[in-house]
A = this chain, B = another copy of it.
Amino acid sequence: MLDLERNQKVRNLLQQQGIEQMLVSDPLAVFYLTGKWIFPGERFMGLILKEEGTPTLIVNALSRFPEEIGVKKVYYNDGDDINVLLKNEINEKKVLGVDKNLPARFLLPMGDAHVAEGYRNGSFAIDDARAIKDEAERQKMRVASLVNDKAMAEFKKLIKAGVTEEEVAAQCLGIYKSLGASGYSFHPIVAFGRNAADPHHGPDSTVLKEGDTVLFDVGCKVDDYCSDMTRVFYYKREPDALTRKIYDLVRRANEEAEAMLKPGIPIASIDKKARDIITEGGYGKDFTHRLGHFIGIETHDFGDVSQANPNFTKPGNTFSIEPGIYNVESGIGVRIEDLVLITEDGAEVLNHYTHDWEVID
Taking Cβ atoms with an 8 Å cutoff, the residues of A that contact B are 98-105, 107-108, 119-121, 123
Please, which residues of chain B bring their CB within 8 A of the CB of A101?
A: 103-105
Please, which residues of chain B bring their CB within 8 A of the CB of A123?
A: 105
Please, which residues of chain B bring their CB within 8 A of the CB of A121?
A: 104-105, 108
CB distance from A30 to the nearest CB of B (A): 16
CA distance A97 to B43 in the complex (A): 21
Most B Cβ at <10 Å: residue of A100, A102, A104, A107? A104
User: Are A103 and B105 interface neighbours, CB within 8 A?
Assistant: no
**Nearest B residue to A97 by beta-carbon distance?**
B104
**Nearest B residue to A98 by beta-carbon distance?**
B104
Please, which residues of chain B bring their CB within 8 A of the CB of A102?
A: 103-104
With contact pairs A108-B120, A119-B108, A121-B108 given, residues A100 and B103 touching in the complex (Cβ less than 8 Å): yes
Please, which residues of chain B bring their CB within 8 A of the CB of A105?
A: 100-101, 121, 123
Knowing that A104-B107, A107-B107 touch, tell me 4 more A-B residue pairs with CB under 8 angstroms.
A101-B104, A102-B104, A104-B121, A105-B123
Please, which residues of chain B bring their CB within 8 A of the CB of A107?
A: 104, 107-108
CA distance A306 to B102 in the complex (A): 28
CB distance from A298 to the nearest CB of B (A): 13
CA distance A105 to B127 in the complex (A): 14
CA distance A102 to B106 in the complex (A): 10
User: Are A119 and B104 interface neighbours, CB within 8 A?
Assistant: yes
CB distance from A173 to the nearest CB of B (A): 11
Please, which residues of chain B bring their CB within 8 A of the CB of A119?
A: 104, 108
CB distance from A86 to the nearest CB of B (A): 15
CB distance from A105 to the nearest CB of B (A): 4
CA distance A119 to B106 in the complex (A): 12
CB distance from A256 to the nearest CB of B (A): 28
Please, which residues of chain B bring their CB within 8 A of the CB of A108?
A: 98, 107, 119-121
Please, which residues of chain B bring their CB within 8 A of the CB of A120?
A: 108
CB distance from A118 to the nearest CB of B (A): 9
CA distance A99 to B107 in the complex (A): 12
**Nearest B residue to A78 by beta-carbon distance?**
B308
24 residue pairs A–B, Cβ–Cβ below 8 Å:
A98-B104, A98-B108, A99-B104, A100-B103, A100-B104, A100-B105, A101-B103, A101-B104, A101-B105, A102-B103, A102-B104, A103-B103, A103-B104, A104-B104, A104-B107, A104-B119, A104-B121, A105-B121, A105-B123, A107-B107, A107-B108, A108-B119, A108-B120, A108-B121
CB distance from A49 to the nearest CB of B (A): 16
- Ranked nearest first, the 6 interchain pairs of A and B with the lowest CB-CB distance are A100-B105, A102-B104, A101-B103, A98-B104, A104-B107, A105-B121
CA distance A120 to B121 in the complex (A): 19
CA distance A138 to B227 in the complex (A): 46
CA distance A98 to B107 in the complex (A): 12
